[in-house]
Copies of this chain bind each other. A is one copy, B any other.
Amino acid sequence: MINFALLGAGRIGTMHAGIIAASSQANLAYVYDTYQPASQELAQKYQAVSVESIEQILADDSIDALLIATSTDTHVELIAKGALAGKAIFCEKPIDLSTDLVRQCWDKIKDCQVPIQIGFNRRFDPTHAGLQQQLSQGEVGKLEQLIITSRDPAMAPAEYLRHSGGIFRDMIIHDFDMFRFITGEEATEIHAVGSILIDPDLAAIGDVDSVMLTLKTASGKLCHINGARRCVYGYDQRIEAFGSAGMLQSNNPRPNSVSKSTADNTDSQSVLNPFFIERYEDAYRAQFDSFVDAVKNNTPTSPSFVDGMKAQIMADAAQQSLISGLLVKIDWSV
């Protein structure tokens, strides 16, 4: 049994609490949230203890692991404290909106021998992971082109967007991780264009809602990412990998497999899953199991802190390209 303390009792923390509780290999011992009523309610639901200070958790030797689901601006501090206290750490993405802070955090913790995993859940989606596996087994030869479609169902609230770090750091960062996961290479060049086509208010905060990116690797692999903040038919998440011997597509799963034919159209299916909680339900569970395995067996985590940092660097480069209109070359050697 891995003993967990959950930091953050908001929407995503609540989801993680349920996953921890349902696992036969993990136990939810503590819940912490700055808003104590939320912490207490969640702790009660899963027969855990609600605590008022993180120090109490860090000092408790029975706690093996932290699951960090607090607001983004607290991640780096909590990661550092936890790692230095010898706790295994699972932290929701992104590590921080500032790559500088992420690098500083890394400097502090890189010698800690604790498992750290970042919540890029899509690596564990049966469909995306299935594509990655079939590709790596050579089922369609050598990868040449990759197309990632990433469309959120609806605009996030204005307040959220103001602190989101922009579409690349907030949303497309998942797709940067997918790019790295599937190509197994680093992007050497990124080019990004964007438009405000959905929500004119974004202009005031210097953000865009519709983006198209091009990435290239050292070996010449090409990748297109298209993203939008609103998609009326649901959460649209697809990947297409074109190889020397064929093509793999990670298509959208649907809530059920009913199709309908009427006088208007044929073979229509239900709309897609509403959002990530529903679409990636299996992925969240598999992600947690993967972390628990790493903790139990002291094996490398994936995606690691460095994976999280690299996606961040790509988001910065994309932002830079969007603003400058120029192709941005990433020098990973630094």
Stretch at the interface among A3-11, A87-95, A176-184, A217-225: A217-225
Please tell me if the beta carbons of B258 and A249 are within 8 angstroms of each other in the complex. yes
Cα A243 to Cα B221 with chains together (Å): 29
Cα A253 to Cα B126 with chains together (Å): 13
**Which residue of the partner chain, among B242, B260, B327, contacts A151 with CB atoms under 8 Å?**
B242
Cα A256 to Cα B128 with chains together (Å): 9
Cα A265 to Cα B244 with chains together (Å): 15
Please tell me if the beta carbons of B226 and A140 are within 8 angstroms of each other in the complex. no
What residues on B are CB-neighbors of A211 within 8 Å?
222
Please tell me if the beta carbons of B267 and A268 are within 8 angstroms of each other in the complex. yes
**Which residue of the partner chain, among B147, B214, B265, B325, contacts A260 with CB atoms under 8 Å?**
B265
Please tell me if the beta carbons of A266 and B257 are within 8 angstroms of each other in the complex. no
- How many A residues, CB 8 Å from partner? 73
Task: Indicate whether A145 sits within 8 Å of B327 (C-beta atoms), given known contacts A252-B257, A258-B249.
Answer: no
A133 to chain B: closest residue by CB: B258
| 9 new A-B contacts at CB < 8 Å, known A130-B258, A248-B258, A266-B269 | A126-B255, A191-B193, A195-B216, A214-B214, A226-B242, A233-B266, A234-B266, A252-B266, A326-B326
- Interfacial residues, chain A to chain B (CB-CB below 8 A): 22, 126-127, 130-131, 134, 139-142, 144-145, 147, 151, 189, 191, 193-198, 210-212, 214, 216, 220-224, 226, 228, 230-234, 236, 242, 244-272, 325-327
